[in-house]
Every structure is written in C-alpha cells, then in structure tokens.
Structure 1
Amino acid sequence: MLTAWSFIAFLGLFVLIGLSSLLYNSHNSRDYYLASNSVKPWLVGLSAVATNNSGYMFIGVIGYTYTVGLSAFWVMVGWISGDFIASQIVHRQLRAKTEKTGEVSYIGVLSSWLGGAQPVYQRLAALVCLLLLIAYAAAQLLAGSKALHVLFDWPLWAGAACGAGLVLIYCLAGGIRASIWTDAAQSLVMISAMGILLWVAVAGLGGASATVQQLREVPDFMNWFPDDLAFPGVAGALLFALGWLFAGLSVVGQPHIMVRFMTLSDGAQMNRARLWYYLWFSAFYLMATLVGLLSRLYLPEIGSFDAELALPTMAQQLLPPVLVGLILAGIFAATLSTADSLILSSSAALTHDLLPHNIEKPWLLKLSTLLVTAVALAWALLSAQSVFAMVLMAWSGLASVFVPLLLVLIFGGRPSQTTAIAMGVAGLLTALLWRYFGLHGMVYEGLPGIFAGVAVYLLARGLPAFRAARRVSSP
C-alpha cells in the first residue's frame, strides 16, 4: 500500500508541474512546440537528458547489461562519446537556424536550411518521422507498463494506458513547456532512484570489494571482450564501440531531443545547457549500467527470467515500500519524459510538416496530440517486440534519415530537394536491410545507414542529372 501511495504522490507532482505551465501559455504553435524560445539553459539540459534517458535506460540498458555483462560498458562509452562529438558540430548551428528560419519543427528547419522551401522533402520526411516517433513512443509506454506489471500485477494494457493518459493531460495543457518542466522534475527523481538502488545493492552484497569478487565468479560475465562479438578480442570490442559511437552521434537525428536545444532562450548559452546535459547523462548512464551488473547477482535465474524486468524485480527485493514507489516513479518518469517529447514532436510533424502550414488554432494542435497519443497507445498494446529492440529500430531509422542531410548542410553542402530525398531513402533502407539480415549484431545499423546517405550526396555531386536538379532547386 505504501508503494502505491509513494508512486501516486510522485505522479501527482509531475502532473501539477505540467499543469502549472498553463500560466505561461501563449496559445499559438510557436509556444506549443518551442515554448517561444524562452527556456533557460539548465532546464534545456535536464529536459534533454530526461528525454534521452528514457525507459530504454531503466528497462532496456539494465536488461541488456544483465544479459551480456561487463561488455555493456562499450555501449556506454561509445554512446556518450558519439553524442558529445555530435553536439560540438550541430547544436549551436541548429539553434541559430531555428531563429533565422522561424520554423517551429525540426524537419521544418532542415527543409528551410538553405533559405528556400523544399515542400516535397518536408512532407515525405514528416511521414517517415511520424511512423518512427510513434513506434518510439509506443516503446516508452510499454516500458512503463512492464514496471507496473511487476510491482502491482497490473495487466500490461493498464500501465500503458495510465502513462498515455498522464502524458496527454499535461501536453494538452502546456505543450513543450509543460514537457520540459516535468522533464526537469523527472530528472531529479530518476537519478535519485537509481542512486539509492545502487547504494543499497552494493551494501547488501558486503561492499564494493565483495561485490566485484562475486561478479567475477559469474561465468563469462566480467569479460571486456566477449566471444560473441563479430571479431575476437580488442578488434571486436573497438568495432562494437565504434558502432555505438555512431548510435550516440545519432542523437542529432532525433527530433524529440534536438527540439529541446531549439527552445533555448539564448544561443550564446548553449555550452551551459550542454554542461548540464553531459554531467547528468554520464552519471546516470554509469549508475544504470552498474545496477544492471548487480541485478545478475540478485536475480540469477536467467533461463526463465525476462531481463527487462530486472530493475523493478530487484527493487522489490531490496527496498522498503516507500522507496519501491520511488523506483517505480523513476521508471515511469523516464518513460513519460520521453513519451511526451515524442508525442509532441509527432504532433509537430503532423500539423506543421505533413499538413498545410499555419495551423495555429489551439484545438487543432491539441487534437493532433490526442490522435498521436491514441495511435502510440494502440501500438504499445499490440507490440510483441522488446523495449530495447523497438527503441533501437526507431533511433537508427531517424538517424539514417536525418543525420546525413544535417551533416552535409552544416559542412556547407547544398543538396537539392531530389538529393535530400534520395539521401533519406538510401539511409533508411540500408539501416532496415542491415537489421533484417541480422548484421546489427556486428555493428549498429545506423552506422551504415548514415554512411549510405552521405554517399548518395557525394555521388549526386558527380552525376549530371543531379547537378542540374541542384541548380534548379537551389535558391
């Protein structure tokens, strides 16, 4: 009973924070999707990290670490390194172009980057973006429902519906401002929950030294270079880490994360926002991976155990009811902080990029949010995939479509509308085929997807037909 009340109290706090954004609502699309470019650096950083550290971190990463062991650290090192490299190249320029173009969506900024409109690209990109973002949102709702299923024995549909309902309440109230404010609160709950569980778990095993000794006794669990990598030893680990570096670099292709940096009140304060983001991100990812390792000691029955339920199951074993409620709130906060961002980005893609522009009526903006939430909930209820697989599919797909074009634009390229479409199609198809043929076990599919998109641009520069198309469509 105490677990339920603790959980409900935290959820109530998130909803109240989101609803309070109504006091600052300007009731137009720029405010609904970009908070009128008025967000402070610390809020941008905490919101972006909460959006990134989603149910994937609480459910997917911990489940993955439970299964593979110490080699999961290569994922963390590669991901954070790639994310940091990408931020050095992209964030400031994207914020500047947002202000210059006056666009309210990520796709809108890309399609207007060169000064002229690319309506066909914008609509096609919005269609693909909608599909992948809704799949991603469904994964977050599914992650939250798994936690509620373990702790309260709720059916999976009830947890997913609860998450969708809460997201809808505060997104309809205040748009992205509500999302960012609740993200900041959720960041505090998420890192507190993970830190408490890590501390209790290590203490329960007799301290740090005893914990390391017990981990070493698990067969093949503490191996930096496992035998199942594509290539043995250091070479395989480096290739594996390189793939995940590109997974981190793929963050700049995620509209729901990048829009946080687009809302920054002053582009000159980007470094301060990034400092908040990376300090919080590194600490949280490290703790999540360590908890994943420890979960194998507390839950050794790997043959019949769903690894993605490791965290809530472990919390039940180790913590008193009030703190179990905190852990559940942390898991749910992680899923909500990403789900609301995905739903709002999907709504922006629908109303601003796919449908005719200048949709300013508040009821139409909110109707699109309601529709997107309903579709994401249905997808979550019907899905048979794991959270980890669904997130990676959406993440790599978005990266393969948008990262090649964004990099080309930032480095001074001027692709025509035809070339931009071809780049996105080539990147997405390459990533999908890479996963279909099972090559993602060797290297993250976003890497060949990004390379394929860039290769299409380089090829187009040397083909007469593409050169002519570029001259015609260039401003």
Structure 2
Amino acid sequence: MLVLSFLFFMSIFAGVGLASMFVKEDTTDDYLVAGRGMHPALAALSAVSTWNSGYMFIGFIGFTYMMGFTVIWLGLVSTIGQVVAWAWLYKFIQHEGHERGVRSLSSLVAEKAGAPEAKLAAVLSVLFLSIYAAAQLTSGGKALFVMMGWNEMTGILIGFVLVVAYCYAGGIRASIWTDAVQSCVMIVGSTILCWIALQEVGGFGGLASGLEAQDPVLTEFLPPDLRFGFSMWVFAFFLGGLGVAGQPQVVSRVMTLGSDSDRKQAMIWFFVWQTPFVVLMLIIGLASRVLFSEGSFDPELGLPVLAMETMPAIGVGMILASIFAATMSTADSQVLACTAAITDDIKPEWREDHKTTKMVTLVVAAFATMISIGGLYIPGGDSVFVLVVLAVYGLGGIFIPLLTIRWMGYKPDTTHSLVMMGSAFVGVIGWSFLGFAGADGIFPSVPGMGAAFIAHFVMNQIRTPEVSSLGRYNWPDGKKLGAVGSVIGLALLGGEVGYLVSAPDSSDSMGGVGDYTIDSTLFVDDFADGTEYVMDGDTVTLEFNTDTITSWENGDNVVGVRVLMAFDEDETSSGFCTASNNAADTITGTIIHDEYDETSQDSNANGQGAMVFETIWYNSTLAESGNSSGLSEAEIEAQLDADGDGLGAYTLEITVEADAGGRPGCTHSDDGEEINYTVQLLILDYTVGLAS
C-alpha cells in the first residue's frame, strides 16, 4: 500500500511537470525564465517550495531536533531578512533583469554578460548550487531510505533521473508548475502530521514537558555558551534570510514575473504560504525530539520516521512523495540556474543554442549527483543542514554585497567586483573550515558578507577615493555617524549583557535516551546529635535546619536522612528485690522533612535498645545499578538529584511509653528514658556518562 500511495502521488507531481511540455516553446528564454509571463501565485508557491523543500523537510527538522526552542530565532529573524529581500533587492533584480534582458543572477553583477566578474560569479554559482542540489538529492535519498528501506545511493540516482527528466520536459516552467502543486500538498500533509504529532506527545503541554525531560536546555529560548556572543549569532540569521536574494534558483522565479505589481503580489503569496509552513515544521521537529530520543537516532530523519510511526500507508506515501518530489524539483531548479549561469556568462556563445543548453543541464546534474554520493563517504558529508548552510551563505556572501552597492548606484569595475567576490568566498569557506560556523558559533553569512563589504570600502578608498562608497548616497557627517554608531553599540552591548544574564549554562545540557553509566557514592554526614530525657507518655520534638551548616564537604545533594537512637533502662526498684524484673519500655522515633517522614519503634526489653531508621527521596536502585538504558540523561538526573529538596528544616519526634515491672514485695518505678540520638544526612555524589 505504501509503494502504491507513493507512486500515485509521484505520478500526479510528475504529470503536472510533464504537462508543461504542451505549452513550452523550444527557446532558451522559455527554458530558463518561462518567457517572463508567470502568474504571481505560481511563482510565489514555487519559490516557497524551492527555497525550503529538502532543507525544511530534513535539515531544518534536524536542526530543530538538536536546538529546541532556540530555533525560533532562526525562523523569526530569517523571515525578517527575507521580507527585506523581497521588498528591496528583488525589486532591483526584477527591474535590471527586464531592462537588460538577463536570465541569470551572475549577469546582474556585471555591466554585461560574459564579463570576467560575471564569469567568476557564474563559476561560484555553479559550485555552490551544485552543493545545494546535492543536498536535495541527499534529502530524497534519506527519505526513501527511511520510508521504503532503499539504499540512499539508490534514492540519489533515482533523483538524478527525475531531475534530468524535469529539466528536459519543460525547463523552469515544469519546475514551477510542479513546485506549486507540491506547496499545496506540503501544507496539507504537514498540517495533518503536525496534528498527529501533537496528539502523540500530549499537546503543547506534553511537548514542553517532554523536551524538559529530555534536556532542560531544549526549553530555553537562549542557547548556552555562544562562542562569539548573541548579537552576531542572531545577525547571521538575518543575513541568511536576506541571502534569499542571492539564491539563483529563487531569483529565477522572480525573473519570470512580468511587472513590479506581480512581484508585490508574489511577495504576499510567498509569506502567507511560507510562514505557517515554518511553524508546522518547527512543531514537528520538536515533537520528533520527544518521540525519538535514542542516542543513535539521526535527527534529520525526524519527519519521515514520525510519518512512518503515526500515519496510515496512504498518508506516508503522500508525505514521502511530497518530500521526494519537492527535493527533486528544487534540485532541478538549481541545475537550471547553473545552466543559465554557464550559457549566459561562462560560455555566452551557447546562449541561444537550445540543444547545447540541455547538454549543460545533464552535465551539471551529474556533477551534483557525484557530490551527493561522495558525501555518503565523508563524516558529516550527508548532513542536509550543513550542505544547505554552506551553499546558501556562500551564494549570499557572493551576491548580496555586490547587488547592494549596485542598488545604491555604485558601479564597481571588474577588479573591484572580483576582489569582493573572492573575499566573500574566502570568508565563507575559511570560516567554515575553521569550525566557527556551528550552532554555537556564527553562521558564515557574517564573515562572507562582512569580508565582501570590507573589501569594497578598502578598494574604494585606495582606488577611487573621490567616489562615494555608498554610490548615490553620501556618508553622514562625523557627528551623525558617531550618534548612529553609539546607538548601534549600545544596542549590541545591551543584547550581550542580557544574554550573559539570562542564558543557560552549558552544564545544564544533557543527552537524550540511550545507554549510560552511573558512578555514585553515598556519603553519610553527621548533622545533629544529643541526649534527651523523655518522660513517660511525653513526646519531645527537636528542630534542626541545614541553614546552620557552613561547609558542605561532600556537596549538598541531600537525598535522605538517617536517625540512630540508643537507650538503656533506668527503671528503679524498692523493697525486697532479689532479681531484676524490669518491664520493657516502648520508644518511638519519627523523622520528618517536608512531605517525607519515617517512623520506627523499639523497646529495651533486654535492658538496652537501639534502632536505625531513614527516609530517602532518590532512586537508590538506579544509583546502585551503575548503569541505565532507555532513559535520557535528564530523566536519570531527576531520579538522582534532589534539586535542593533535602535542604531546610528537619523535625525529630521521640515518644516514650514507660512500663514498670516488679512483684509482690518489690516495687518498681519508671518515669521515662534517656535517649541518645544522632541525625545523619545522606548525600549522593554521582556522575553520568555515555556507555562505551
């Protein structure tokens, strides 16, 4: 049933794409930009699909799984950056594309197609877009592996065939039509899966408590121990969102629009459609963390595994077909964008050669496939999120600074443009290879775009100081510039201070469900001792408080309390008494701490007595076992750490019921008993580690 469902939905998607054959024209212009007459809604829905697709289904789910609530910053701030890109840079891109008749983003960074800077931009576009396309193929391979049990390489090769088929069938038009249908199915399928996921985890309350049990840091809105501070960490997400204007496969959708009015309509469609999709994916990613928390679980498989575990076969087939088809049509968009860059800028003599253009498409698709397959044999090389981050921020670093200064009216020459692009490339690649681009660092959008802008200002100052580096705009005077700088500096300082005060500590971070070793030692520390004479029938109440302890030699994880009591017999006799005939007394002790209490009773039947009793509030069996399986680190800690419950007031109650012995002629009396007591605190010291 699963295979039939998958094939059914794939047939629908493929049929929509192939239907474009009946309206296409055999020209390179129609092949690459659909004749610039696409409906705004279709272009927008296609942009949503091609911008998110495998990244959102696989990579974003995995990142959400790892980061918890802090991923909200990525979704929110990145969206703000995308709004700026649509409202500002896309307007410039669309106008320039129409005015100059260009079909590739790389052509826009030069005064004419085929210029050296356009060639370099095209080469870098092909490199990063091929990596991006490889990420899509990897996404499809992972989805088929989880849901159908097929080898990942098989899925990648099937994806290659479909990408080439999409491209050859109708070019960009086939991709857009298919994307639009997929966007609709993606929303419907994601909504159903999100609803099911929430039912599985017990609603939003169960989701939060489940994450808390996995790792308390997952429910924090600030990440722990950011290496370069909070401000740049967040700013990287904004630049990443702004970088949507530097993604050739998305820009190609904008270039298919006929007018600025169409762009505005497409912008509304884009965010109305994408925003709920991002929210749905975020919830699904968090739910997958709660439901699939084994240490060996691949976070990027959260969505397909969730679908497999909770949906009927027809629903699983729909989700699988949506993931696979979306990743393939996105990959084909990226391959077509590479084709446009090659035929318009690297080899402009191929620009109008439709047959050669299709051959270029085939070669680029094969190159992306080789990258995807190669990633299977490199540690971390099959991470969709890592591949997408590298590609998106690489493209953003190359194009956004150049597009920005051109929008401002600055006309960089070839040398200027080449240095800016080279600086961005070195910034992105160097930053990534240094290991600074991780979740606790800064995504490479900041060093990439930062290096390009620095290169621009330096080149302008050295080569053309008489020209404003802001193009048609002038720098404000020193006073205004200082005021603006002060405001920005204070805002950044406030953000960093707030982060230092509010951010959780990395020591709070814990592992998920898995196999752990537990090394524990239970210390017994004397807390209070003394002697009390308790009269017959009376109860003596003694109060103690841990506030009196000035130094905790073995830590303050108090997990229990123990009481030792010893007593003799002080019964007296008078008269003719030749042998002891004492009666046993009953001594009752009760120790109370908050809601915990324990009572013990004994007697001095043999002339003396003693008793030991205790109450504990930790899982002693777990601690003594030395290992755990099937629990998260947070769940283990919850059973071993008192979390302050052992601190505070303790009450010891001692009751004596004395009984006097004797016989005729020998009178006994017993007014009470002298009780020696010691109160001890049980302190647990433990460490939890992953089992080898």
What's the counterpart of residue 506 of structure 2? none
What's the counterpart of residue 287 of structure 1? 280
Show CA shifts across 1:168-217 (max 9, x none).
11210111011111110111121222111100111223333333333333
CA distance in 2, matches of 1:109, 1:214: 49
Please say if 1:158 is aligned against 2:160. no
Q: The residue matched to 1:414 in structure 2 has which SS?
A: coil
CA contact (8 A) 1:29 1:104 kept: no
Please say if 1:398 is aligned against 2:398. no
Alignment counterpart, residue 304 of structure 1, candidates 293, 296, 306: 296
CA distance in 2, matches of 1:467, 1:336: 50
Q: Residue type matched to 2:427 in 1?
A: T
Aligned ranges 1:208-223 → 2 under 5 Å: 208-219=204-215, 220-223=217-220
Q: Residue type matched to 1:205 in 2?
A: V
Q: The residue matched to 1:264 in structure 2 has which SS?
A: coil
CA contact (8 A) 1:62 1:310 kept: yes
What's the counterpart of residue 473 of structure 1? none
CA distance in 2, matches of 1:247, 1:134: 19
Show CA shifts across 1:36-86 (max 9, x none).
101011011101110111211111111111112111111111211111122
Q: Residue type matched to 1:79 in 2?
A: S
* Distance change >3 Å, CA 296–CA 117, structure 1 → 2: closer
CA contact (8 A) 1:408 1:454 kept: no
Alpha-carbon shift at residue 118 of structure 1 (Å) = 6.2
Aligned ranges 1:60-71 → 2 under 5 Å: 60-71=59-70
More helix by share: 1
CA distance in 1, matches of 2:113, 2:164: 32
More strand by share: 2
Please say if 1:81 is aligned against 2:80. yes
What's the counterpart of residue 222 of structure 2? 225
CA contact (8 A) 2:114 2:347 kept: no
Gaps of 5+ in 2: 470-692
CA distance in 2, matches of 1:362, 1:226: 51
Alpha-carbon shift at residue 237 of structure 1 (Å) = 4.3
What's the TM-score, normalizing by structure 1? 0.93
What's the counterpart of residue 144 of structure 2? 148
What's the counterpart of residue 45 of structure 2? 46
CA distance in 2, matches of 1:461, 1:135: 33
Q: Residue type matched to 1:159 in 2?
A: G
Alignment counterpart, residue 329 of structure 2, candidates 337, 341, 344: 337
Alignment counterpart, residue 325 of structure 1, candidates 303, 317, 320: 317
Q: The residue matched to 1:463 in structure 2 has which SS?
A: helix
Report which stretch shifted further, 251-260 or 324-333.
324-333
What's the counterpart of residue 424 of structure 1? 421
CA distance in 1, matches of 2:75, 2:255: 25
Root-mean-square deviation (Å): 1.8
Q: How much identity, in percent, do the aligned residues show?
A: 36
Aligned ranges 1:161-176 → 2 under 5 Å: 161-176=157-172
Q: Residue type matched to 1:371 in 2?
A: V
Report which stretch shifted further, 433-442 or 336-345.
433-442
Aligned ranges 1:51-450 → 2 under 5 Å: 51-112=50-111, 116=112, 119-219=115-215, 220-230=217-227, 236-301=229-294, 303-383=295-375, 384=378, 385=381, 386-441=383-438, 442-450=441-449
Show CA shifts across 1:94-114 (max 9, x none).
1111110011222123323xx
Aligned ranges 1:8-23 → 2 under 5 Å: 8-23=7-22
Alpha-carbon shift at residue 218 of structure 1 (Å) = 2.6
Q: Residue type matched to 2:363 in 1?
A: L
Q: The residue matched to 1:265 in structure 2 has which SS?
A: coil
Alpha-carbon shift at residue 445 of structure 1 (Å) = 0.9
CA distance in 2, matches of 1:433, 1:212: 38
CA distance in 1, matches of 2:466, 2:374: 45
Alpha-carbon shift at residue 358 of structure 1 (Å) = 5.0
Alpha-carbon shift at residue 238 of structure 1 (Å) = 4.2
What's the counterpart of residue 464 of structure 1? 463
Q: Residue type matched to 2:308 in 1?
A: Q
Q: How many residues align?
A: 460
Alpha-carbon shift at residue 283 of structure 1 (Å) = 1.0
Q: The residue matched to 1:458 in structure 2 has which SS?
A: helix
Q: Residue type matched to 1:69 in 2?
A: G
CA contact (8 A) 1:58 1:334 kept: no
Q: Residue type matched to 1:313 in 2?
A: V
CA distance in 2, matches of 1:353, 1:411: 24
